[in-house]
Structures are given as structure tokens and as C-alpha cells.
Chains A and B, each alone.
Chain A
Amino acid sequence: MAIIKGDFIDNLPKVYGLYTGGFVVFILLMAILEQAGLGADTIGILFVAFTVVIYATIGWLSRTMQVDAYYVAGRQVPAVFNGMATAADWMSGASFVAMAGGIYFGGHGYIAFVVGWTGGYVLVASLMAPYLRKFGCYTVPDFIGTRYGGNLARFLAVCVLTLASFTYVTAQINATGTIASRALQIPFEVGVWFGLLGILLCSMLGGMRAVTWTQVAQYIVLIIAYVVPVIWMSNKQGFGIIPQLVYGEAVMRLGELETLHGVGIKPTEAFAGLKALTVPHYEAGTSFAAKWKFVTLVFCMMAGTASLPHILMRYFTTPSVKAARQSVAWSLLFIFLLYFTAPALATFTKLQVLDPNLATGIIGKAIAEVNALEWIQKWSNVGFVAISDSNGDGLLQINEFFMRGDIVVLATPEIAGLPYVISGLVAAGGMAAAMSTADGLLLAIANALSHDLYYKIIDPKADTKHRLIVARVLLIVIGAAAAFVASMKLTTILGAVAWAFDFAMSGLFFPLVLGVWWKRANRQGAIAGMFFGLLAGTWYLYMVKWGGMEPWLYIDHLRFGVIGCVVSLVAMVGVSLATAEPDEETQKMVDEVRIPKGKSVLASTH
């Protein structure tokens, strides 16, 4: 309280400038210590421990007992800083660790994720964020509950939010556990609880205010950690210091190498969790199925982006409607910096491995020679890489080299022969990415349960102190539940992430959009939209994934949101038109939401 006052906001550029400088000094210090003989393991531990302690300190300094500070950071976060916080909130462990690997293996088809996860912000800016900010809600169900009225609508929104965010947060806690266990040399199950502890320290005392300022700090760490190794590597290969602009040549070269190495020949062996490269890098599918799969995946990720409460609620914290709109633009700019680097990283790593003219190339070399490489040994020991001479010719073919996608980010510094300090930096970046997303998600769930379920539905007379205590207890309970589920390792990281988007769009996309853009939308319609959308989506997911049903029109389990949101739209429009139009008061409320001027619909503290 004492430290973060009004003038803290004015000093933000200075504070975070100093912080960034301090982090760079820390990296240099580690580099010097490495030269002086400090072990690689110690460097890894120091990187993760140092950054997590900083986040926890920020969380402690931002503690608060005020409702609007706890729920919406006092609505005073400037557009640019909110953009950074949103970017960290957004870019998860999956974006950081798995995206480049996904592009490495999936080529053009996988880049649909990149397009979807950026273009969704156009929907956020034009359809949602400014209007929700004008509304003045604390949570997304707060909007649904007030716009449509009634506890049932509010309750259903809480259900969708909890389902989508919980699916997502287990994946993030899983990622923090993986990274913490590797960097700190502890078992995965312990790593999960260590990760949760760090996450709770950041969010519990200060709610949204604490999460905001730690997320800004986490963004700075994660973007440095992602971009520095790529620039270093590209510089080493002679592609200059802005590799993102000039890697076209490398992409074309990969096309030649794929022909040379026979990419596309299926491997004859299989290793659990590992893959051999079989998909061309830049060639796009020519069939209707391939094109349709690309655009449906893009659509799901976009509509999901615009419905995920932990993202939407970041725009409740800006000082004005205008700032909310600008903030969406800044968010996407900061996200773009990582997302346009990921395909470059995938390209460079693939080139390192495939190009026989490079010292690092391994395909086509003698197996004995490849097995002697340090990084191959290190990563095959932990089961991330496997090599097998399937055809017995003593040479490594492309379909005899198996690896895990995560390697592209985690091992690239070693493949390219960069100093270990870079690997430590990457671990700290991955930790920052996973922690910041987990923070935002946990807070979204706990806030919805404490504000919408406890305060609005169960006990509307609860005083401030009670509300904030309930919010914190829920945060711990949900965090522990998520860590418990994560430690059981039910799904792979990416499967669960895509599902969160599909759940969110099935239940929330149309009730949110139509709440602003269609005055005629009423309570019955919204209830039907949320209920049937979620039901249809979940049913379809179950049938396709476990029920043995053939997907309709190539809509597989990653894309079930298409089914959910179409059902939601039809149900919502149909039921709205079949029932009475909303009362005059509600229509006036919608009119108010549509103009930035004037007071917010809900009081600033409610």
C-alpha cells in the first residue's frame, strides 16, 4: 500500500526501465560467472530462483484490502503497460516452449495457431473490450449477469468461465512444474507445487493489482529470453541481427533440403512422445480438407481469444474506454514480437539440423558420429531425443531422427553451441510465461467465484473484508486443485490449451458479442445460448475424442468450438426471438454501453 501510490503510476517507465537494466546486469553477471567456472546447474537454479523471488516481491508490495484494487487494479493501468501485462497473461508456457516446436513439425498447417492467436485481438478490439470497459464490470460473468439479468445467466457464465480457465490452468501449472523440475533438479510432482507457490505469492495478497505489475515484469523477462537466443543464432549463421526479416532464404533452402533428405517418408519405428519430421516446412496443402482444417483452426483460436475471461478482464483495468482500445493494440504489438520470432526460430533450428553444409547438421552423417555429440547425449538421456538406424546403413536418415517439439526452444542454444547462460535465460523465460498465464487464469476463476457466485448470488450483504478473504481462500483452493490435476498429467500441454479456447467460444462468444451488438438479445436467449453451446461442444468433444465418432467435415477435437458456437448462436437467436424483448431499462443500458461518454453502467465499487 505504502509503496504503490499514485506517483508509482507516473514513474512506471522509470521503474520498469531500472528493472530491465537490472535483469540485463544479472544476465551479464551470470555470463561472467560461467566463464569463471560456475556449473551449468547452478546457473539454471539462480536464473529461475532470482526471477521468481522478484515476482513474489512485487506481489507482496502490491498487497491491498480495497475491492476495486483487488478486482480491477484500481482501473489505473496505462494502455502500454496493460498491453505488456496482457501479452504475458496471454503467452503461455505453450506459446513459449511448444509453439516453435509445433511449427518445426507441423509446417504451414501449424502456423494456423499463430494466425488465430493474433487475429483474435481484432475481435477483442472491435467487438468486446471497449464496451466491457464502459460497462464497468469486475468480471466477465458480471457483464452477463447485469446485461441479461438474473442469477441463472450469471451462474452459467461462471460455469463456462470455470471450465475453460481450469482446463487451461492445469496445462500452465504442468508447464511451471516441468520447467522448475528441470532447472532446480527436483521431481516433477514437487516442481508443480513449487510453481503453484510462486504463482500464489504473486497473486494472493494483491489480486489484480499484484498480477498486473508482476505480469509486466514477466513480459520483460520472457521477451528477452525468447528473442536474444534467436538473434544470437542468426547472427552466428550470417543472417544478421533482425533475423525475422531475412529468413526467407533459409525457408527456400529448407525446401531444397527436404527433397535431398526425402522428408515425407514415414518412419518405420516409433518412440513414445517423440516424432520424426515428415511434413514439409512451407508448402501449403492443396486439398479442400487441408485448407478447411487451416481456416477452422484459425477461427476457433480467434473466437476463443475473444471469449477467454482472463484476457477480457485485463481491459477492465485501464483508466478509460479509449485507453482500453489502445491497450488492445499494444497487447497485440507485444505479442507479435514473440509470435513472428517463433517461425524464424523453427526455421533456423531445422536448418541447423538438416543442412549438411553447416557444422551442426546431423542428417546424412554417420550415426556413430551423431551419437557422440554432447547435446544428443544429454537430451536422449532424458528421453527427449532418440536415434535409431532403422535401415541399418550406418547413416542418419531424416526418418531415423526422433525428438520432442519442446526441444526446439529448450535445446537450440546448445545445438547452436551458445553458452549455457542462454539456456538458463530460456528456462527463466519459460517459467515467466507459464507463471503469468497461470496467475491470470487462477485469478479469473477465483474472482468469478468470489464476486459472482459468493457475493452476488449467495451473500449480497457480505462486507469488503469478507469478500476479499473469500476471494483469497478460493484462489488457494483452486490453485491446489489445479496443481493436483496437473501432477496427474492427464493431457499433453497443447491439447488442453486448444480445448480451453473451444470451451470459451462455445459458451461465451455469442452471449458477449450479442449483448452489446444486438439489443433484442434477452435473458432466455442468453441462457439458451450458453447452455446449449457448451452442451453441444462438450458432447462433440466427448464423441470425437473418446466415443469413437467420425468427425464431421474434418472438425476434430481441437476444433469442437465450431460446433459449440454455431449451436450457441442458433439457440440464442431462436429463443430470443421467440420470447419477449428486453425491458426498456435493459435497452437503455445497452445504449449507454455503446458510447464512451458518461458514467459506467455499474458503480465504480460494487
Chain B
Amino acid sequence: MTDVDQSTREAHWAKTKGLMITTLIIWFIFSYLVHWFADSLNNASFLGFPLGFYMAAQGSLIIFVVLIFWFARRQHAIDVEHGVAEDEDKLSARSN
């Protein structure tokens, strides 16, 4: 078992869980909530598009891409902060 004490593990997992929940709340809004109100949003216009259509065809997709890049950075920062990130030499070492 990797040499990381229990309290560090718990603190790290609490933060990881928090990030997961934040990520999924944003995901929920742009996966479901926004599209539920698509008919009303279509009355507004964005870049010349009806907003409801835009969110399904493009807006939500852009949010998802940015969200995952952001998530990957945040999670790595949490790992480093708690000293549980992978060793850098392991990252560059390759076995064939």
C-alpha cells in the first residue's frame, strides 16, 4: 500500500468529491436544465441564433469541453496539494 497516511487520504478524497460535485452540477445545468427551457430561450437571440437551438447545437458542447479541461487541471492541483500526485519521473519513464 502506498505510504500516505489516513488523514491525508480523507482530506484529499473530500476535496476530490467536492470537485466532482461542482463539475456534475455544471454538467447537469447544461445537459438538462438549459434544454428543458429551450422553447423559451428560443425567444432570445445569441450571435444571430435562437438561443435554445444554439445551446443544443453548440453552447453546451463548448461548456463541456472547457469543463473537462478545467476539471483535469483542478484535480491535478488537488493531488499535488495533498502530495498524492504521481512522481514526475514515473510520468516520463516509459517501458516498452
Residue numbers of A with Cβ under 8 A of B are 5-6, 9, 68-69, 74-76, 108, 111-112, 114-116, 118-119, 121-123, 125-127, 130, 244-249, 251-252, 255, 281-286, 291, 294-295, 298-299, 302, 319-323, 325-326, 328-329, 332-333, 336, 339-340, 343-344, 588, 591-592, 594-599, 604
- The CA of A118 and the CA of B61, in the complex, are separated in Å by 6
Contact A286-B60, Cβ < 8 Å, known A249-B48, A591-B9: no
Q: Are B76 and A325 in contact (CB under 8 A)?
A: yes
Q: Which residues of B contact A285 (CB under 8 A)?
A: 39
- The CA of A291 and the CA of B49, in the complex, are separated in Å by 20
Cβ of B16 to closest chain A Cβ, rounded Å: 7
Select which of B41, B67, B69, B86 is within 8 A of A321 by beta carbon.
B86
Closest to B70 in A: A329
A-B Cβ contacts below 8 A, count: 193
Q: Are B31 and A302 in contact (CB under 8 A)?
A: yes
Q: Are B94 and A248 in contact (CB under 8 A)?
A: no
Residue numbers of B with Cβ under 8 A of A are 1-2, 4, 9, 12-13, 16, 19-20, 23-24, 27, 30-32, 35-36, 38-39, 41-42, 45-50, 52-54, 56-58, 60-62, 64-65, 67-69, 71-72, 75-76, 79, 83-87, 90-91, 94-96
Cβ of B34 to closest chain A Cβ, rounded Å: 9
Select which of B27, B42, B68 is within 8 A of A332 by beta carbon.
B68
Cβ of A250 to closest chain B Cβ, rounded Å: 9
Q: Are B58 and A343 in contact (CB under 8 A)?
A: yes
Q: Are B31 and A119 in contact (CB under 8 A)?
A: yes
Q: Which residues of B contact A69 (CB under 8 A)?
A: 96
Closest to A322 in B: B76
30 contacts between A and B (CB under 8 A): A75-B95, A111-B53, A112-B56, A115-B35, A116-B31, A118-B61, A122-B67, A122-B68, A126-B20, A126-B23, A126-B24, A127-B20, A130-B75, A248-B47, A252-B48, A283-B42, A284-B41, A295-B35, A299-B31, A320-B86, A322-B91, A336-B62, A343-B57, A591-B9, A592-B2, A597-B2, A597-B83, A597-B85, A597-B87, A604-B95
- The CA of A142 and the CA of B96, in the complex, are separated in Å by 22
Q: Which residues of A contact B45 (CB under 8 A)?
A: 248
Q: Are B91 and A319 in contact (CB under 8 A)?
A: yes
Contact A332-B1, Cβ < 8 Å, known A251-B50, A340-B57: no
Q: Which residues of B contact A121 (CB under 8 A)?
A: 64, 68
Q: Are B47 and A245 in contact (CB under 8 A)?
A: yes
Q: Which residues of B contact A244 (CB under 8 A)?
A: 58
Contact A336-B61, Cβ < 8 Å, known A245-B47, A284-B38: yes
Q: Are B72 and A329 in contact (CB under 8 A)?
A: yes
Q: Which residues of B contact A295 (CB under 8 A)?
A: 31-32, 35-36
- The CA of A76 and the CA of B45, in the complex, are separated in Å by 46
Q: Which residues of B contact A76 (CB under 8 A)?
A: 94-96
Q: Which residues of B contact A604 (CB under 8 A)?
A: 95
Q: Which residues of B contact A119 (CB under 8 A)?
A: 27, 30-31, 60, 64
Q: Are A122 and B24 in contact (CB under 8 A)?
A: yes
- The CA of A273 and the CA of B84, in the complex, are separated in Å by 56
- The CA of A320 and the CA of B76, in the complex, are separated in Å by 12
Closest to B36 in A: A291
- The CA of A348 and the CA of B63, in the complex, are separated in Å by 24
Contact A252-B50, Cβ < 8 Å, known A127-B20, A594-B16: yes
Contact A108-B38, Cβ < 8 Å, known A121-B64, A298-B32, A596-B84: yes
Q: Which residues of A contact B23 (CB under 8 A)?
A: 122, 125-126
Given contacts A115-B35, A247-B49, 14 further A-B contacts (CB under 8 A): A69-B96, A75-B95, A76-B96, A111-B53, A248-B49, A282-B50, A283-B39, A322-B86, A332-B64, A336-B65, A595-B4, A595-B84, A597-B79, A604-B95
Q: Which residues of B contact A329 (CB under 8 A)?
A: 65, 68-69, 71-72
Contact A5-B96, Cβ < 8 Å, known A108-B53, A325-B75: yes
Select which of B2, B52, B75, B83 is within 8 A of A599 by beta carbon.
B2
Residue among B12, B47, B65, B90 facing the most chain A CB atoms (10 A cut-off): B65
Q: Are B16 and A122 in contact (CB under 8 A)?
A: no
Cβ of B64 to closest chain A Cβ, rounded Å: 5
- The CA of A322 and the CA of B2, in the complex, are separated in Å by 17
- The CA of A371 and the CA of B41, in the complex, are separated in Å by 40
Contact A298-B31, Cβ < 8 Å, known A130-B75, A320-B86, A343-B57: yes
Q: Which residues of A contact B36 (CB under 8 A)?
A: 291, 294-295
Q: Which residues of B contact A118 (CB under 8 A)?
A: 60-61, 64-65
Q: Which residues of A contact B83 (CB under 8 A)?
A: 597
Q: Which residues of A contact B31 (CB under 8 A)?
A: 115-116, 119, 122, 295, 298-299, 302
Contact A115-B71, Cβ < 8 Å, known A284-B42, A597-B86: no
Q: Which residues of B contact A591 (CB under 8 A)?
A: 1, 9
Q: Which residues of A contact B46 (CB under 8 A)?
A: 248
Contact A284-B53, Cβ < 8 Å, known A121-B68, A597-B85: yes
Select which of A74, A125, A299, A321 is within 8 A of B68 by beta carbon.
A125
Closest to A334 in B: B65
Q: Which residues of B contact A125 (CB under 8 A)?
A: 23, 68, 71-72
Q: Which residues of A contact B47 (CB under 8 A)?
A: 245-246, 248
Residue among B57, B64, B65 facing the most chain A CB atoms (10 A cut-off): B57
- The CA of A485 and the CA of B87, in the complex, are separated in Å by 48
- The CA of A121 and the CA of B68, in the complex, are separated in Å by 8
